[in-house]
Structure 1
Amino acid sequence: MIVDTRYGKLRGRIEGDVAVFRGVPYAAPPFGDLRFRAPQRPEPWEGVRDALEDGPTAPKRPYPPPLDAILPEVRIEGEDCLNLNVWTPDLSGRRPVMVWVHGGSNRNGSNSVPVYDGGAFARSGVVLVSINYRLGVEGFCSFPDAPENRGLLDQVAALEWVRDNIAAFGGDPGNVTLFGESAGAIDIAALLAAPSVAGLFSRAILQSGPPAAGTREEARKTTAMIAKRLGVPATAAAFAAVDLERLLDAQVEVARKSSLMGGPGFGPVLDGELLTGLDLDPDKPVIFGQTSEEYRLWFVPTGLAARLKPYMVRLALLKLRVRGGVLKGYRALHPRLSPGEAFGLLLTDHLLRVPLRKLAETRPEGRTWLYEFAWRSPAHELGAAHAMELPFVFATTDTPEAQLMTGRETPSSLTDAMHGAWVRFAETGDPGWPSWSEPARPTMVFDEDSRVVGDHAADVHALWRR
């Protein structure tokens, strides 16, 4: 199966009953003279280029233990890491397009993760595109001699490739839904606030990631910490001269000081060019949501939930600038939970549930839908942890990688509900439950028996408003 793009012909193949094109370059390799620069268009090629295997992944390290056993990484060597995969039901027609931006704290993840296989979306009538983008130092460190937000600029370049080429794959460039999880959702929120990107997609889904961006000064603190470990100036030129593996080692060392409660990290920067603020485009339909127990991914496998002592929780509350009375309220709502578990729920709400609801309250009616993923996995006592919804969104619960988190037995009704809602939103701009409005405040709770709940978690929100 051959498709003609603006840069040359691509050979894909049929996998099951859908056509798949893998490792398609949407920008030139970001190395050599292009290191730490904005993405450039790929060079055209002669003849037919095979698009049969996943392309190189962005430079990265695996997740630290014990998360590496739950979230296995795919690392494919090569410099041509600005690539994407396409799944399509048919090369003809004008079908809705969905573009997936993976998570991983902007330093992990790739489009090669088996859980992100787009076959189910294609079988549902959607053209699914999943992208790689620069991570960590390469994509998000702030330098005085390099453009900011290189990882975001990569995502913009991928969307421009979609605009220019997706019709050849049977997709409609005028009907593009951008969706992502965790850091991917945070990045998408930045793109929703970037006026120059407005025409590249129609709507968005933010899974477990609120709008967030730092100043240049904040971002350069991370750069300075890495530069100190390397013993070089905090400039792109100096970093480019460092061996890549040594650079990744330093990135890992600095990232160890990062936490859910703040610390050095990698994310969007308010650069005054691409991103001047975080006011999301009010005209674009958006779905926001989170899992019920985000914190369990970090607190349970690591044993942190059991190790957290009351005094440690109090120190964390001071750092987060959260009143002690809020935690007392959580202990009253959940008297059987340990201090660590109660603090984990508080953290989930502080970082996601509460800010997403506040954001919904500021948006025009009919433009926002809220959800919560509540199904509790028995595997590793993860419950409704961060990232647990992903196999249900992609309908990939049968993959061994998904079952590391979900276990082997998962409710098909939940897959049907969540995957179906995402497809419906891409097709029509309406996921199938009432949009956010006052005073009803409807939230879709995804579980074995998915249902709409009015004013969901009102007692939690009341705690934060006292």
Structure 2
Amino acid sequence: MTENALMTEYIEVETAAGRVRGCWRPTTGGRGNVRSAAFLGIPFAEAPVGDLRFQAPVPKEPWEGTLDALSFAPTAQRGDPGVTLIPEPSVPGESTLNVNVFTPSLDGALPVLVWIHGGGYFAGSPASPWYDGRNFNRDGVVTVSISYRLGFDGFGWIEGAPSNRGVRDWLLALEWVQQNIAAFGGDPSRVTIAGQSAGGGAVLTLLGMEKAQHLFHGVYALSGALADVAAPRSEAFGRALAIAGGVEPTVSGFSSLGEERVLELQKKATELGPKSLTSMIDEGLPLGPSVDGDLLPRPTLEALAAGVGAEKPLVLGSTDDEFTMAMTGAAKALRWVPQALLLNRLGVPKTIRRDYLGANADVVALGKTRLAGRVLTDRMFRTAVLDVAAARGDAPTWAYRFSWPSGHFGFAEHCLDVPFFFDCLDGPAMEPLAGPNPPQELADELHAAAVSLVVDGDPGWPAHHGDAGTVRVWDTPVRDVADGYASVKALRSLGS
């Protein structure tokens, strides 16, 4: 059967809210003639507009007839935010709370992967061709990608509004999976949640949330960026945004501002400069899941240390140089900045510099741009891997590092591991991130490990225990090393 013929072969499923129509497509690199059915843009909630804009999500009312689920639905992301390295298109429209389901079969009870996209909690889109679950389908895994409200609409403090609206969107989407995935051939008792960057932070947040434990059974966090915004900081940001917009910090006040105006105010309030970058390292993101005393009664690390989610397998890690790209534009200026001053500005105190520089001698030898990028990466991402692993103690935890250097950038930058995870190196916009001819054999191994976690609860290398243990290094060749995050330990006293 030709691809064109496959694209016109429709398939229908009855969900709790109504019937949906998807279509069959081919997989790639498959074993035999495995197909993948895509159901795109199925609403799990009513459109968050009008009176519902700053409220908790409301489950979608049933519809009559058959809903075409043949193209991506509207996204919370508007326009081009100019920050995403992954092709994540914006789709205009109001009904932004949707799921995309990819399945190889409606029969049986296959394990399920639910993907939460990244984007700093203010950008990103589930409509990326990289997030297509066809090759997870090829390997016997039903795949779902979900949307959620972003930025201030999703996470901003507003007097009289429910907190953490974006988190509530995740929860309702996962409830939808529990109620409906069996109709798509998935097993609701075998759900693994995964995400990258803010999406990686999202799944860690959910792992530490008592109220979410019944919704999933395993976690895979790529470059997890935990927010855990303190309640006073969240409120201060909301009040400041209201003042800037000339309104009261209430639901009615913010509702009087159009979406474009709120986005404009949000962008201005979160613009990064040299001083604000250091502030973000020390204080974290201003918008994201907040410790509200309700959904999140305590910070995620405290919850994990108390044993929340301890029975669930967790894989987590980062790329080696997540944010080195952010420093490349400053390479010329950094040549004239003394190393001591640079480290001081990046918050590395004198008391630990010798240990840190010694542990990262290979990066120091590459110059101050690479050193600055590594410090940013370590403080924002890599120390968090050790902190989470330590908090979980003997809970089943596996750590990795993605170290393969991009053929374009020459180092393992933010987002580089995502197409390897999805086994989509043949996808669009790959060369600007990975360079020409990225190694398919590495994608084969990394993707297989992800499938192994979803199917068997074990990715296939020795577990990590507390502060130290075996770390899988994704590179060519793939290898396992002892204490693979030792080079960041000097920074852990600063916090993640």
Alignment TM-score, normalising by the size of structure 1: 0.93
After the TM superposition, which residues 12-411 of structure 1 pair with which residues of structure 2 at under 5 Å, given as runs?
12-16=22-26, 17-64=35-82, 67=83, 70-257=85-272, 259=277, 260-261=280-281, 262=283, 265-277=286-298, 278=300, 279-280=303-304, 281-300=309-328, 303-308=329-334, 321-332=347-358, 333-334=361-362, 335-365=364-394, 367-379=396-408, 381=409, 383-411=411-439
Please list every run of 5 or more consecutive structure 1 residues that lacks an aligned counterpart in the other structure.
Answer: none
Give me the CA root mean square deviation: 2.3
Shift of 1:310: 7.1
C-alpha distance in 2 between matches for 1:168 and 1:394? 23
Amino acid in structure 2 at the alignment position of 1:269: S
The residue that corresponds to 2:7 in the other structure is: none
C-alpha distance in 1 between matches for 2:468 and 2:352? 25
Cα gap change, 1:464 to 1:21, in 2 (>3 Å): closer
C-alpha distance in 1 between matches for 2:339 and 2:323? 14
Amino acid in structure 1 at the alignment position of 2:169: D
C-alpha distance in 2 between matches for 1:37 and 1:154? 10
Cα gap change, 1:230 to 1:61, in 2 (>3 Å): farther
Please list every run of 5 or more consecutive structure 2 residues that lacks an aligned counterpart in the other structure.
Answer: 1-10, 27-34
Q: Deviations over 1:311-353 (max 9, x none)?
A: 6976775576531343444444144232232122122122222
- After the TM superposition, which of the residue ranges 188-197 and 348-357 deviates more from structure 2? 348-357
Shift of 1:389: 0.2
The residue that corresponds to 2:12 in the other structure is: 2
C-alpha distance in 2 between matches for 1:306 and 1:182? 28
Q: Deviations over 1:251-270 (max 9, x none)?
A: 22122135352576311111
- After the TM superposition, which of the residue ranges 284-293 and 274-283 deviates more from structure 2? 274-283
Q: Deviations over 1:236-262 (max 9, x none)?
A: 321111121122122221221353525
C-alpha distance in 2 between matches for 1:337 and 1:327? 17
Aligned positions, number: 460
Shift of 1:372: 0.5
8 Å contact kept, 2:108–2:185: yes
Cα gap change, 1:329 to 1:438, in 2 (>3 Å): closer
Identity among equivalent pairs (%): 38
Asked whether 1:435 is paired with 2:463, we answer yes
Alignment TM-score, normalising by the size of structure 2: 0.87
C-alpha distance in 1 between matches for 2:49 and 2:114? 25
C-alpha distance in 1 between matches for 2:490 and 2:263? 44
- After the TM superposition, which of the residue ranges 123-132 and 306-315 deviates more from structure 2? 306-315
8 Å contact kept, 1:293–1:345: yes
Shift of 1:228: 3.0
Amino acid in structure 2 at the alignment position of 1:423: V
Q: Deviations over 1:66-103 (max 9, x none)?
A: x46x4444111111100010000100100000000000
C-alpha distance in 1 between matches for 2:213 and 2:269? 34
Cα gap change, 1:348 to 1:43, in 2 (>3 Å): same
C-alpha distance in 2 between matches for 1:104 and 1:307? 28
C-alpha distance in 2 between matches for 1:369 and 1:385? 21
Shift of 1:116: 1.2
Q: Deviations over 1:186-237 (max 9, x none)?
A: 1221111111110000011111115440122111232233223322222232
Amino acid in structure 2 at the alignment position of 1:139: G
Cα gap change, 1:346 to 1:320, in 2 (>3 Å): closer
Amino acid in structure 2 at the alignment position of 1:323: P
Amino acid in structure 1 at the alignment position of 2:121: N
C-alpha distance in 2 between matches for 1:222 and 1:316? 29
Cα gap change, 1:241 to 1:425, in 2 (>3 Å): same
C-alpha distance in 1 between matches for 2:79 and 2:354? 39
8 Å contact kept, 1:313–1:343: no
Q: Aligned with 1:52: secondary structure?
A: coil
8 Å contact kept, 2:356–2:487: no
- After the TM superposition, which of the residue ranges 264-273 and 360-369 deviates more from structure 2? 360-369
8 Å contact kept, 1:61–1:252: no
- After the TM superposition, which of the residue ranges 290-299 and 316-325 deviates more from structure 2? 316-325
Amino acid in structure 2 at the alignment position of 1:326: I
- After the TM superposition, which of the residue ranges 259-268 and 167-176 deviates more from structure 2? 259-268
8 Å contact kept, 2:356–2:490: no
- After the TM superposition, which of the residue ranges 150-159 and 241-250 deviates more from structure 2? 241-250
8 Å contact kept, 2:407–2:436: no
8 Å contact kept, 2:233–2:286: no
The residue that corresponds to 2:4 in the other structure is: none
